[in-house]
Structure 1
Amino acid sequence: MATTDMIDRQLLDLDALDRALTDTANVTPVLQRALADADDTLSARFLDGEPAFKLVPLRAAVMDAVVTRAWAICLGDLADHACLAAVGGYGRGELHPGSDTDLMIIIPAPLPEALESRLSDLVTRLWDIGIEVGHSVRSVNDCVEQARRDITVATNLMEARPLAGDRSLFDAMDAATSPYRIWSGPDFFEAKWAEQQKRHERYDDTAYNLEPNLKESPGGLRDIHMIGWVAKRHFNAGALSDLVDLGFLSESEYEELIQGQHFLWDIRFALHRLAGRREDRLLFDYQADLARQFGYKDAEHTLAVEQFMQRYYRMIKRLSRLNEMLLQLYQETILYTELDEKPQLLNKRFQIKRGFIEITHRNVFQRYPFAMLELFLLMQQHPEIRGIRAATIRQLREHRHRINNAFRRDLRARSLFMEIFRQPAGITHALRRMHSHGILGRYIPAFATITGRMQYDLFHVYTVDTHTLMVVSNLRRLSVPEHRDEFPLLSEIHSRLPKPELLYLAALFHDIAKGRGGDHSELGAEDAYAFCLQHGLSRYDCRFVAWLVRKHLLMSMTAQRRDISDPGVINEFAGEVGDRKHLEYLYLLTVADIRATDAKLWNNWRKSLLQELYRRTAQALRRGLGQPIDEDELVAEAQHRARELLRHKGLHHMTVRSIWRHFTPDYFLRYSAAEVAWHTAAIHAAGDAAHAPLVLVEPDTQRGGIEVFIYTRDRDNIFALAVSALDQLSLDILDARIITTDNGYTLDSFLVHTPTGGDDPTATAVTIRETLRTHLADPKTLPEPATGATPRRLRHFNTMTQVDFSDDTRNNRTAMELIAGDQPGLLAQVGYTLARHGLRVQNAKIATLGERAEDVFFMTDDANAPLGSAIRQQLRSELLSAFDDDSDIMRRGDGV
């Protein structure tokens, strides 16, 4: 609790302050200066290394001195007719630099008019002084009525402390809102627990957001407050330390809570200073500065900001575990204290009581260390178990240090771990519980190194450990019958896997080597092989799991970066995969990995890409690697299926043949039969009007976006004009395909989507069609790309621009790979640059991964020949100049 006795003269000279306040004309500037000077002193102390846990109560004490003097001056002879109380964090005696000063004024009923006027003057004066005031004016009855309706009000009143005025009003309020009158201990606990669950859900039920909230995210300050609130309400504990005396907290648990609170306070104090206001979100705007302020430095394989954030994530994970255990202990004590239920014995080590599993005696984990794994297996085998008893969790925490090399060599422990992976249900829950209680990282030390590890980018929205367990969860979901409709093909493939546990092991190890330097896929494969060998798998299965880890990025990179309409690419990928088994396991792992990287990353476009790559590769494997797919055969098949569709539309085969006679085989390789039929029918319907730009827009396609098709005479700048028009409409381009016919026409397709996703599809289609027609009407006019404001999140990253060229000899063209920071108008700028050099884009693979744009353009010069070395060098120079910036944070590319 804050008290002015804490204030030293260096911080605030109370005697000098009182002398200065005798000049009533200067009250506001005097108090304003006193508060500002004190804040400057506190900031200087913080920068000199004094911890926030010493400064936060001091700031509350300074505020007490300022506020109570303003109260006395504004209320004068009526100062004892009401009571001024601090509530919320200020009521606890905690005040950070940007925190609101929450006040409650308890008034007699009815409120005298003279007092009302002076209270209004008080609030105005406090704002003039520069205090961010949150205030309420209530009678005792008002307090009771509002607290009874709103658990948040009841909580605030519980933390209130009197500052000035009539103490009897405060005492009356305190008595009237006690647990004997409203919100008994059990009722309060249940309401606050429900409130916490809702809060966690609101913050995605995970602490691992890219920009977490210090207060509200799981494991944040609110979770510590929650423990204190319940303790105060039910046990009448004045402080967390009282819970140690009551036997509800061990000394080590108390120390862990306090250390966590002090750590979060240091960050919050620094964050408020940086922001110059109340800010509890660890935004990208501040993360790098905070890392530097707390002394972190870039290392060979990790940035300073990544080290800082990993420490943060690990701390809130510890606090979240402690919060969960203590609340469960409260639940057993507060809600179930009257229940006396006979336990159900599972074996000599474990039993079920009140729906929770517990050890049969205190020495179980000491005598049988392997039981720390057996616990989670039993929970899988008995889904009726609601959780682990708090006393057992405490024993687990106290004995997990026994998981050492000897433990890992124990055949019983190894067998139990593999049995968890072979269970028909509950694998994800088992792994998450093991991780939550610190067992998984103990058993697999490499997993401990990725716990809380973040990558400073917008692509990986979860820490590596959370992402990894989400991949396992995605895979397990495919085996659940009630979810078969989500991914029918993937669920069907999963149902015929001979050993699904190999897939789950590959998921567990696929990113385990991130942050070590080197190729995390190669290093992770080595870890996976050694682990599988130690756990009794055959050498073939060990090699198979290691292969999945080593190649876990292969399928996504092939689908998103290469031209999978090219039979050569398919044959090459099929050669890498080798057989149907490897393909199917890799396909499932790839989809689960992408979906666990960022929910927004998975869409129908990526789904269709991977499905098409899977389908074509499976076809190649059926033929045999010695009989690669023949291009002519694929063209003939596509034409046959398209003709059947067109016949149903009423088009004569000679009409179709006339339209197709100038189309190259490339066209039929890159488009599906349905797309060919759509284009052909539209070209026929347009008749002579097809000489003008024909623009088709299909708002809802199986490829997961808006399909835009352009058919017009081939001229310079068509690609640049099209992407410029689409950029003008703020559309994201997912894919581009450009085909030139033998008679000088171009068939261009763009798959786009609206970032908001909420626009009317029909209206959007009309707008796209009209805008493109306008832009393409005068292909000689090439507008310079407009530059828009870079979104806040993108401004804090610098992706080093890379431009690389390679020869696509099979198709007689050049591939240009561009990696750059995502920014408004990027594609338009690329199109503009290529057009100025007269280059023709024949295909493009567009990928935006968080803050990174990773695009590949297949192109030729104006003579339809591959690019020479001189033009390559010139393009590289111009694009590097266009997209590089001077940010001091460089990013490494670690893939998915």
Structure 2
Amino acid sequence: MTSTDVTAEAEDSGPSGYAAARLRLLTEGARSGPPRRAALAELTDDWLAGLFTAGAEGLRGVSLVAVGGYGRGELSPRSDLDLLLLHDGGDAARIAALADRIWYPVWDLGLALDHSVRTPAEARKTAGEDLKVQLGLLDARHIAGDLGLTAGLRTAVLADWRNQAPKRLPELQELCTERAERQGELQYLLEPDLKEARGGLRDATALRAVAASWLADAPREGLDDARRRLLDVRDALHLATGRATDRLALQEQDQVAAELGLLDADTLLRQVYEAARVISYASDVTWREVGRVLRSRAVRPRLRSMLGGGKPTAERSPLAEGVVEQDGEVVLARAARPDRDPVLPLRAAAAAAQAGLPLSLHAVRRMAAGVRPLPTPWPAEAREQLVTLLGSGHPTVEVWEALEAEGLITRLIPDWERVRCRPQRNAVHIWTVDRHLIETAVRASEFTRRVSRPDLLLVAALLHDIGKGWPGDHSVAGEIIARDVASRIGFDRDDVAVLATLVRHHLLLVETATRRDLEDPATVRSVAEAVGSQGTLELLHALTEADALATGPAAWSSWRGSLVADLVKRVSAVLSGGELEDPEAAAPTAEQERLAIEAIATGSPVLSLRAQTEVPSEEASGEPEPLGVELLIAVPDQPGVLPAVSGVLAVHRLTVRTAELRALQLPDGVEGSVLLLDWRVAAEYGSLPQAARLRADLVRALDGTLDIASRLAERDAAYPRRRGVVAPPPRVSVHPAASRLATVIEVRAQDAPGLLFRIGRALEDAGVRVRSAHVSTLGANAVDAFYVTGPEGAPLPGTEAAAVARKLEETLRG
């Protein structure tokens, strides 16, 4: 039966005919989705128009208007009918009688009705007082009567909305925020409200209202499809339950999935989550644009008066190579070339997350359209930027979602597609699989001071449940995937093995601690054998807690934490042979020896800069990988070398990736003592300074004529560093058994310009001698070990070492 046949049946038989035609339309299996909704709206229009015409004979200046969801033609089987009887203020008795002639037949059929009778002036006045009424009128659609009256109201309401947009849009955003706080996020709920939850149909309608204001517009791509999908699910839900409900309850999901011809309830939920994610992301981008436009409108007149009427230019502050901040967003620099810079998406994402700023939609789309794939294995910079992004705390979530919205995540990690929007039908889990993985990384970023390899912790957090997209034990499948992903990312063979172990055994500690007898030696021995090393145990302990905390409030407790800590302590005793060993003095290379002899001869620092590359591993193929620039410095042994060198590098905006400082054994016949610094550095942005400038500043720093602390303070005051991440506090610890020749002080802290300078100066002020230093930057985390002695060259007494560590930690916290 066609829609024309259905309409004819309804017209021929009055209300009972409409009811029969409506039932036939809704039970006709071949008709679903937008065609059925359009047909239902058309059928209802014709029926109501007939009621109006019969009651309005001889009455002028009256029209029947559909508003809200009915105005948009989005009638689900049990939807309300939102109607406005519009009149010009004529015969009140005739208008009241007409209203009764329309409302009562609707009620008699058991249909929900939201109705009003108003003049255009009354409608506009009510809209001005009630935002929800105004939103409904934005979708006003003529059904019957005086078309000019309806058109006039539509024109006036739209004009009012656009004129009042600077005031009404913040109100609308506040309504959306309050509703999201009450209803939660549709894309993660096991029993979501398709209409009210964040990312649902209400938000889709709000985006239409923003677009109607002409102030801003939502990203269009995928938005209509997402809205249609949620409406289709609501239609099926109404038919399955026979009720006007928007909540997709667990017990009804299988029936709804069957109604839509889907495989199962998980497939249904995944489609719902994907649609909600599109709407949520569009909402984030749109409300950000609304805020930007409103701010610019408020500031522009004042700026124009200050600039003599000229157009103000948005300030652009550099964040990283090819990445700048502009107007509260992270955008690409004008010279950025995504087609020539495959690391750019990760670099931009890491910079945005570290600054706590959103990635602009234009920047993400430009990168998605033009960026080349990363080579396999990834360059070292790409790996470091990924680790920095993952270690940035909660801002990681928004940035990751922006990349994912444009398909960049699955390009970087193809295995992500299987876990994207995958539901977890488990009351303990509050997130989908993919969001849980990101939340675990966010939690793990709080524990980076507890482990010696925060990069491995963060990547393991990202991958620990990656096997949930495959059949069988997700830990077993995940181990295989983790090996492949870690190799592609560019970790070496040993690190790949550690990551695979972490993914395979990420549930081992909590399951053993809560389900096995810890007094049984076999229990502890089996865990020790599975873990294999002290370093892996340390990582697994942090991953276990991060995973549990990211699962939900029911997954972790002080009791579980104490059991896991007890198990870790027992396993650690079995693996107690994993302490740091004494650093071995390596024989100098010819270049190092040449620099050392020149430094002795001249009595001043000598340095060289050269590109550093990494030879591909046996498994990898292709060209050697650039690692940055190697900076070799030979300095006659004297106090203050570490803070002087690190301070000069900070002044020149050089980032230290790795660093070693040690005393160099000179050849026979050469008198004197030389400190050798072998560091890998990279420009924070821009090009590297000339070696001659570095050397000149280093000479001044060592003789005291260059006040590094003041220079750094002046720069920070002039260009305050935007950092949206609340990093965990620094941690300084003493490892008394790590060396027989020196005291090992380990520092774990958030990497920042001047960090190594502050550490070096604090150690100098403490009166200790740095015998050697081993510095590494893993993403946004610095993990530095300093082998220090007293003035006589002996290890520090225990109390003195503890005091030095305590003082250093206080300095870094300050």
TM interval, shorter chain, is 0.5 to 0.7
Query: For 1:164-313, what aligned pairs fall within 5 Å after superposition?
Result: 164-167=144-147, 170=150, 173-174=153-154, 176-180=156-160, 184-205=164-185, 207-234=187-214, 254=220, 256-297=222-263, 304-313=264-273
Letter in 2 for 1:272: H
1:295 deviates by: 3.6
State how far apart, in whole Å, the 2-side matches of 1:375 and 1:274 are: 46
What SS does structure 2 have at the residue aligned with 1:208? Answer: coil
Q: Secondary structure at the residue paired with 2:114?
A: strand
Partner of 1:33: 17
Give the Cα–Cα distance (whole angstroms) in 1 for the partners of residues 321 and 528 of structure 2: 53
Q: Does the 8 Å contact 1:570/1:620 carry over to 2?
A: yes
The answer (yes or no) to whether the contact 2:359–2:399 under 8 Å persists in 1 is: no
Looking at structure 1, the residues matched to 234 and 533 of structure 2 have their Cα atoms a distance apart, in angstroms, of: 54
Residue equivalent to 2:76: 96
Q: How does 1:471-510 map to 2 (within 5 A)?
A: 471-476=440-445, 478-479=446-447, 495-510=449-464
CA distance in structure 1 between the aligned counterparts of 2:510 and 2:321, rounded to whole angstroms: 49
Cα distance in 2 for partners of 1:424, 1:165 equals 59
Following superposition of structure 1 onto structure 2, how do residues 319-334 of structure 1 map, counting pairs within 5 Å? Answer: 319-329=279-289, 332=292
Which amino acid in the other structure matches residue 350 of structure 1?
V
- Paired letter, 1:561: R
1:485-522 CA distance string (max 9 Å, x none)? xxxxxxxxx53321222211111111001131233212
**Runs of 5+ in structure 1 lacking a partner?**
1-5, 21-29, 236-242, 298-303, 480-493, 627-896
Q: What TM-score, normalized by structure 1, do the two folds share?
A: 0.57
Residue number in structure 2 paired with 1:344? 316
Partner of 1:463: 432
Query: Aligned letter for 1:284?
Result: L
Q: Which amino acid is 2:207 matched to?
A: I
Please tell me the residue identity of whatever aligns with 2:127.
Answer: A
Secondary structure (helix, strand or coil) at the match of 2:4 reads coil
**Superposition pairs of residues 695-710 of structure 1, within 5 angstroms:** none
- Structure 2: distance between partners of 1:79 and 1:363: 67
* 1:379–1:430 contact (8 Å) kept in structure 2: yes
Distance in 2 (alpha carbons) for counterparts of 1:428 and 1:62? 46
Matched-pair contact (CA < 8 Å) for 1:105–1:136: yes
How far is the alpha carbon of 1:118 from its aligned partner?
Answer: 5.1
After superposition, the Cα gap between the structure-2 partners of 1:63 and 1:618, relative to the gap in structure 1 and judged at 3 Å, is same
Matched residues in 1 for 2:160 and 2:67: separation?
21
**d(CA) in 2 for partners of 1:32, 1:541:** 73
What whole-Å deviation, never above 9, does each CA across 1:504-552 have from its counterpart, x for those lacking one? Answer: 1111111001131233212222332343344444443332222211111
**Whole-Å separation in 2 of the counterparts to 1:32 and 1:164:** 21
| Secondary structure in 2 matching 1:212 | coil
CA distance in 2, matches of 1:423, 1:94: 42
**1:752-773 Cα shifts (integer Å, max 9, x gaps):** xxxxxxxxxxxxxxxxxxxxxx
Shift of 1:451: 0.2
How far residue 55 of structure 1 moved from its aligned partner, in angstroms, is: 1.9
Aligned residues: 564
The AA in structure 1 aligned to 2:322 is R
**Native 8 Å contact 2:195 2:246 kept in 1:** yes
Distance 1:308 1:107 in 2: 45
**Which of 326, 337, 353 is the equivalent residue of 2:326?**
353
Q: Which residue of 2 aligns with 1:106?
A: 86
Matches within 5 A, 1:300-699: 304-329=264-289, 332=292, 336=296, 339=300, 340-346=312-318, 349-361=322-334, 364-383=337-356, 386-399=357-370, 402-403=372-373, 406=375, 409-410=378-379, 412-421=381-390, 427=396, 430-476=399-445, 478-479=446-447, 495-564=449-518, 569-570=523-524, 572-573=526-527, 576-577=530-531, 581-599=535-553, 601-602=554-555, 604=557, 607-615=558-566, 617-619=568-570, 621-622=572-573
Please give the secondary structure, in 1, of the residue aligned with 2:82.
strand
Distance in 2 (CA, whole Å) between partners of 1:255 and 1:535 is 30
Counterpart residue number, 2:52? 71
Could you tell me how far apart the structure 2 residues matched to 1:210 and 1:350 are? 38
* C-alpha distance in 2 between matches for 1:181 and 1:208: 33
Paired AA for residue 40 in structure 1: R
Residue pairs, 1:762-773, within 5 angstroms: none
Give CA deviations for 1:229-286 in whole Å, capped at 9, x if unaligned: 2222327xxxxxxx9xxxx78xxx6462333333333323222221223232322233
Read off the aligned partner of 1:204 and give its amino acid letter: G
C-alpha distance in 2, partners of 1:7/1:272? 22
Instruction: Provide the secondary structure at the position in 2 that maps to 1:134.
Output: strand
What root-mean-square deviation, in Å, do the aligned CA atoms of Structure 1 and Structure 2 show?
A: 3.5
**DSSP-derived class of the 1:292 partner:** helix
State the AA in 2 paired with 1:352. E
Could you say what secondary structure the match of 1:285 adopts? helix
| Aligned equivalent of 1:154 | 134
Partner of 1:12: 7
Letter in 2 for 1:374: R
Residue identity in the other structure for 1:548: L
**Per the alignment, do residues 460 and 258 of structure 1 end up closer, same or farther by CA in structure 2, a change over 3 Å counting?**
same
How big is the shift at 1:172? 5.6
Partner-residue secondary structure (3-state), 1:277? coil
**Distance (Å, rounded) in 1 between the aligned partners of 2:205 and 2:392:** 39
**Residue 55 (structure 1) aligned with residue 75 (structure 2):** no
Residues 181 and 418 (structure 1), Cα distance of their counterparts in 2 relative to 1, 3 Å cut: closer
Structure 2: how far apart are the matches of 1:565 and 1:609? 16
From the superposition, tell whether residues 348 and 234 of structure 1 become closer, same or farther in structure 2 (CA, over 3 Å): same
**Separation in 2 of the partners of 1:182 and 1:254?**
20
CA contact (8 A) 1:214 1:282 kept: yes
Measured after TM superposition, the shift of residue 51 of structure 1 is 4.3
Match of 1:859 in 2: none
Tell me by how many angstroms 1:101 deviates: 0.7
Q: Which residue of 2 aligns with 1:800?
A: none
Aligned partners of 1:311 and 1:618: how far apart in 2? 45
State whether residues 66 and 84 of structure 2, in contact with CA within 8 Å, keep that contact through their aligned partners in structure 1.
yes
Give the letter aligned to residue 525 of structure 1: E
The range that moved more, 263-272 or 177-186, is: 177-186
Deviations 1:781-828 (CA, angstroms, capped at 9, x unpaired): xxxxxxxxxxxxxxxxxxxxxxxxxxxxxxxxxxxxxxxxxxxxxxxx
- Is the contact between residue 186 and residue 276 of structure 2 (CA under 8 Å) also seen in structure 1? no
Deviation per residue, 1:125-174 (Å, 9 max, x gap): 21103322122333444433332232211111111123234556545644
User: Matches of 1:57 and 1:458 in 2, distance apart?
Assistant: 38
Contact 2:510 2:564 in 1 (8 A): no
Instruction: Give the match's secondary structure for 2:17.
Output: helix
CA contact (8 A) 1:583 1:614 kept: no
Would the aligned equivalents of 2:62 and 2:145 in 1 still touch at CA under 8 Å? yes
Contact in 1 for aligned 2:200/2:276 (Cα 8 Å) = yes
Q: Which amino acid aligns with 1:379?
A: A
Report the TM-score when normalising by structure 2: 0.62
Cα 1:366–1:195 shift into 2, 3 Å = farther
Specify whether residues 471 and 197 from structure 1 end up closer, same or farther in structure 2 by C-alpha distance, changes over 3 A only: same
Greater than 6 Å deviation, 4+ residue runs: 422-425, 623-626
CA contact (8 A) 1:442 1:448 kept: no
| Closer/same/farther in 2, CA of residues 426 and 218 from structure 1, 3 Å limit | closer
Q: Percent identity?
A: 25
